[in-house]
Amino acid sequence: MSSQIDHLLNESRQFPPSPEFVAQTIDDPALYERAAADREGFWGEQARELLHWHKPFTEVLDWTNPPFAKWFGDGELNVAYNCLDRHVEAGIGDRVAIHWEGEPGDSRSITYAELTDEVKRTANVLAGLGVGHGDRVAIYLPMIPEAVISMLAVARLGAIHSVVFGGFSADSLRSRIDDAGAKVVITADGGYRKGKVSALKPAVDQSLADRNGEGEQQTVEHVLVVKRGGNDVDWTEGRDIWWHDVVPAASADHEAQAFPSENPLYILYTSGTTGKPKGILHTSGGYLTQAAYTHKYVFDLHPETDVYWCTADIGWVTGHSYVAYGPLANGATQLMYEGTPETPHPGRWWELIQKYGVTILYTAPTAIRSFMKIGRQVPNEFDLSSLRVLGSVGEPINPEAWMWYREVIGGGKAPIVDTWWQTETGGIMVSPLPGITAAKPGSAQVPLPGISIDVVDEQGKEVESGNGGLLAITKPWPAMLRGVWGDPERFKETYWEKFEEQGFYFAGDGARLDEDGDLWLLGRVDDVMHVSGHRLSTAEIESSLVAHEATAEAAVVGASDETTGQAVVAFVILKESFLAEHTPEGLATQLRGWVGEQIGPIARPRDVYIVGELPKTRSGKIMRRLLRDVAEGREVGDTTTLADTAVMSIISAQVK
């Protein structure tokens, strides 16, 4: 099978940073030169500059047993000390670490000194519950400060956290607790979501309930519960403990012990397309180096003056690297928000940016397109002039959404960093540097200094500029996953088998190189459609649809077709302003013709369905496999990871 993915859209606009931005940036073209001259030396330099090592390392990379890497292997450090104590010792303990805003409007601002004390108290409580080096702790919390405090307290003890997203069911939680063999679960009575308290403790109770003779061993000894939502909860004496009864009363004296650089830091489960979820394992020194380095340079961070906001939940890897670890390692001030973007009103995010003077915003394309659907009149009500860097994460951002983000949210001047990375990579791998790169709408552009990435064909041979293929990481990187928890064979098969001979990591994504050698992500290779002998990217057809003035968001899938092999089927959400003036049927016909004009007849959708919503996970990813089920007339598959499980029955009814 050819790995060439047909390239359909041309985007030639470029936006270099303004002279004013360049004058103040920390980004330096010499970073690329230093990394190219001596890659391992470059990473050693970053690790020494950005982190404190209790025991300095002498070896940067041990790659003698691929694909199992060791970074800074003989060095020792403490992750929590790097995120907390050293800032207090450096005299910036009174700097705000976290401005936190609850969905109902309650708020707290926590300094580095206060956060350090709170983490030390929590570490002492956990140690008292028997948590020690190498033990696993499951964290199932809403977006409240205690979530970050818990992660850092576990890391401080050299234990391993497994954060489970608060939207997951009791069954999902149970499989993750069992797989990791968690000793303690940290949860809350509930958290606010869309104006209501969403319960959490009952799911924990259910996941720990009687195992019905299934032979599974119950490893959880204690459940630590934060009172957040004011819900009544069932209580198991001897097992369950209120956070407010023990943490404030604990001692704030706790010395951070040094652990080896390769000490496991966390397990984060990704739902595999088949079979049980994969527990992605990350370790300490290499991971923290790359999280701090990417957070500093990709966002042009000035920790003394910036207010940074990553909108991701800590249940996802973005919340690990760019809420809990990267910003705190860099001594940054950040905003953390508990609720949803449209609660209690559609301008909530912009109100918070105005209130806290946010300077750096990092969010997902799906959120940007949701705001496009409502219209620019909402953000226009707020003062967003503090924003100086905008970031995008989670999936390729289409050029139309990129332009809207720049013009409406960034005032036509803020550089956009479109970042590509994965749970498995641990940190950003491909991104423009805002003080250097002339940005292109929709392109992630270039691997970061120190990262080696190629677009290759099925045989692992590099493709030439202007061609598409498979995205491969060709050299080890510091934050790389160290395995699948408890399953080294699955790790090798899933990520390394395809290009075993070359020793490349295969990301599962398609990409193309433009004539300048810049990268354009084309989505998952599994989502590529085979239409009349052509391999078409869903991402490019979606971009074409969103470029139409009536479209807010679109998802495209390939459905079986007797004539063409597969046919293009599109599900489209319209902007509210267009719904009043046009019929859905008329717009569907218009959109089919539009794609044909923009891209060519080969890409014209067979069907365009106008829908009110798309099936998304709570992290904002569109679940195209469910749309494929609808397009092919099958029963819809498992919907448990959706943010709103009712959405598929609504879409099915609309399609019928």
Of residues 273 and 60, more confidently modeled: 60
When pLDDT is averaged across residues 414-436 and rounded to a whole number, the result is 97
Give the chain's mean pLDDT. 92
How far apart CA 97 and CA 185 sit, in angstroms, is 25
Q: DSSP letter at 606?
A: S
- Cis (ω within 30 of 0) for the bond into 67? yes
When pLDDT is averaged across residues 370-386 and rounded to a whole number, the result is 94
pLDDT of residue 2: 41
When pLDDT is averaged across residues 414-443 and rounded to a whole number, the result is 96
End-to-end CA distance of the chain: 35
When pLDDT is averaged across residues 511-537 and rounded to a whole number, the result is 80
Q: How many CA atoms lie within 13 A of 94 on its CB side?
A: 1
92 located within any domain? no
587 located within any domain? yes
Task: Note the pLDDT tens digit of each residue in 157-215.
Answer: 999 999 998 877 888 899 899 999 999 999 999 999 889 999 999 999 999 996 655 55
- Closest among 257, 289, 268 to 61, alpha carbons compared: 289
**Tell me, what CATH number does 536's domain have?**
3.30.300.30
How far apart CA 550 and CA 587 sit, in angstroms, is 8
252 located within any domain? no
Cα 20 from chain centroid?
A: 30
Task: Note the pLDDT tens digit of each residue in 92-125.
Answer: 999 999 999 999 999 999 999 999 999 999 999 9
Task: Note the pLDDT tens digit of each residue in 331-347.
Answer: 999 999 999 898 899 99
What's the token pair of residue 102?
Answer: 């609850």
When pLDDT is averaged across residues 229-251 and rounded to a whole number, the result is 95
Give how far Cα 643 sits from Cα of 167, 169, 233, 647, Å: 7, 11, 24, 9
- Asked if 291 and 322 touch (Cβ cutoff 8 Å), the reply is yes
Q: How many domains does the chain have?
A: 1
Write a three-state SS string for 400-467: HHHHHHHHHHCCCCCCEEECECCCCCCCCCECCCCCCCCECCCCCECECCCCCEEEECCCCCECCCCC
Q: Is 136 helix (H, G, I), strand (E, B) or coil?
A: strand
Give how far Cα 231 sits from Cα of 120, 246, 638, Å: 28, 19, 30
- Say if residue 61's pLDDT is above 90: yes
- Say if residue 268's pLDDT is above 50: yes
Biggest CA-to-CA distance, the chain: 72
Task: Note the pLDDT tens digit of each residue in 187-202.
Answer: 999 999 889 999 999 9
pLDDT of residue 171: 83
Please return the burial class of 347, using the count of CB atoms within 10 Å of its CB with bins 0-12, 13-18 and 19+. Answer: buried
- Closest among 294, 325, 336, 426 to 83, alpha carbons compared: 325
What's the token pair of residue 23?
Answer: 């004058």
How far apart CA 516 and CA 466 sit, in angstroms, is 8
- Say if residue 1's pLDDT is above 50: no
Please return the burial class of 231, using the count of CB atoms within 10 Å of its CB with bins 0-12, 13-18 and 19+. Answer: middle
Task: Note the pLDDT tens digit of each residue in 389-411.
Answer: 999 998 888 888 999 999 999 99
Which range marks the domain in which residue 569 is found?
528-655
When pLDDT is averaged across residues 475-495 and rounded to a whole number, the result is 96
pLDDT of residue 366: 84
Q: Is 273 helix (H, G, I), strand (E, B) or coil?
A: coil
Give helix 624-631 / helix 647-655 axis angle, nearest 10°. 30
543 located within any domain? yes
- Closest among 559, 473, 540 to 508, alpha carbons compared: 473
What's the token pair of residue 403?
Answer: 């332009």
**Of 78-82, 357-361, 582-586, the least confident:** 582-586
- Say if residue 37's pLDDT is above 90: yes
633: Cβ–Cβ under 8 A, 6 or more apart, which residues? Answer: none
Of residues 17 and 9, more confidently modeled: 17
DSSP string across 514-570: -TTS-EEEEEEGGG-EEETTEEE-HHHHHHHHHTSTTEEEEEEEEEEETTTEEEEEE
When pLDDT is averaged across residues 503-527 and rounded to a whole number, the result is 88
- Say if residue 587's pLDDT is above 80: yes
pTM: 0.87
At 297, the pLDDT band (50, 70, 90 cuts) reads very high
